[in-house]
């Protein structure tokens, strides 16, 4: 599995709308969002609560379906994919990092990190070698056999990052990845993700409130009321 496709955007959202029903009230989370993410980007989506950041990430990750418009990942229209094809796309091409780490509590750090590889059918030996190297890369040497409840929040988030990049996805979607950790850990995690972006070319798309993430992003998209308010590129 390659880090990104040779050509074309990884993510393309065209006039995407998302409306939720909350009781009798219709909530318009996204109101015609257009967005393109190219390979190798280190992009943050910011905006006030309710601006549609997480909704956008959920739609890109195929976790939710839009009310209108189209969401494409590597040229695949997610709306046209069935449950199984969508599962396969998430497994093979999209990595997730969640705010609350969301590691599987009964699995060790190594087992959590290798989960996607196992789902892909990668053999034990290759999997273990790859995950050992990855855990070293994210600074978790010697902690491979610890369960999540034996790791700190920062360590758990590192495992989550290792899990997200283990299968070399086209894009890693990180929803508020620094929200539950202290400043030092947040900086450490950002260093790590930045390094993975620079060294390995992993594409990251964050949704965040955190000014530290916004400051590090090479592209900052600000959403207001479900639409792009500003799109600032800081390349170079």
Q: Which residues bind another protein (CB under 8 A)?
A: 58, 61, 63-64, 83-84, 87-88, 90-92, 96, 98, 102, 104-107, 111, 114-116, 118-120, 163
Rg, Å, the chain Cα set:
17
CB 70 to another protein: min, Å: 18
Give the Cα separation of 3 and 197 in Å (integer).
10
Q: Which is nearer to another protein, 27 or 215 (CB)?
A: 27
Q: Which is nearer to another protein, 51 or 222 (CB)?
A: 51
Other beta carbons within 10 angstroms of residue 99's beta carbon come to: 18
Beta bridge partners of 231: 221
Q: Which is nearer to another protein, 101 or 188 (CB)?
A: 101
CB 121 to another protein: min, Å: 11
CB 211 to another protein: min, Å: 25
Tokens standing for 160? 């989550």
CB 94 to another protein: min, Å: 8
CB 112 within 8 A of CB 148: yes
Q: Which is nearer to another protein, 39 or 95 (CB)?
A: 95
Q: Which is nearer to another protein, 68 or 233 (CB)?
A: 68
Burial 15-29 (b: 16+ CB within 10 A, else e): ebbbeeeeeeeeeeb
Q: Which is nearer to another protein, 74 or 111 (CB)?
A: 111
Sheet containing 171-175, strands listed edge to edge, beginning at the edge strand earlier in sequence: 94-97, 171-175, 204-207, 42-46, 219-224, 227-233
CB 233 to another protein: min, Å: 29
CB 143 within 8 A of CB 151: yes
DSSP string, 1-58: --SS-SSS-SEEEEEEEEEEEETTEEEEEEEEEEEEE-TT-EEEEE-STTSSHHHHHH
CB 97 to another protein: min, Å: 11
């Amino acid at each position: 599995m390659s880090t990104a496709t040779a050509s074309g955007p990884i993510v393309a959202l065209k006039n995407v709308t998302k409306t939720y029903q909350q009781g009798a009230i219709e909530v318009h989370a996204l109101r015609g969002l257009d967005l393109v993410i190219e390979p190798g980007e280190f992009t943050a989506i910011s905006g006030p609560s309710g601006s549609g950041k997480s909704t956008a990430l959920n739609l890109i990750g195929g976790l939710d379906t839009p009310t209108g418009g189209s969401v494409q990942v590597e040229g695949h229209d997610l709306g046209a994919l069935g449950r199984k094809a969508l599962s396969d796309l998430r497994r093979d091409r999209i990595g997730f990092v969640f705010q609350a780490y969301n590691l599987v509590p009964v699995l060790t750090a190594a087992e959590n990190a290798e989960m996607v590889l196992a789902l892909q059918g990668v053999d034990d030996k290759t999997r273990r070698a790859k995950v050992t190297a990855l855990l070293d890369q994210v600074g978790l040497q010697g902690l491979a056999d610890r369960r999540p409840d034996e790791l700190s929040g920062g360590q758990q988030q590192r495992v989550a990052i290792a899990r997200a990049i283990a299968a070399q996805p086209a894009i890693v979607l990180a929803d508020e990845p620094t929200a539950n950790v202290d400043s030092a850990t947040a900086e450490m995690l950002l260093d790590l993700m930045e390094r993975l972006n620079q060294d390995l070319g992993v594409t990251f798309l964050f949704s965040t409130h955190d000014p530290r993430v916004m400051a590090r992003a090479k592209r900052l998209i600000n959403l207001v009321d479900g639409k792009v308010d500003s799109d600032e590129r800081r390349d170079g």
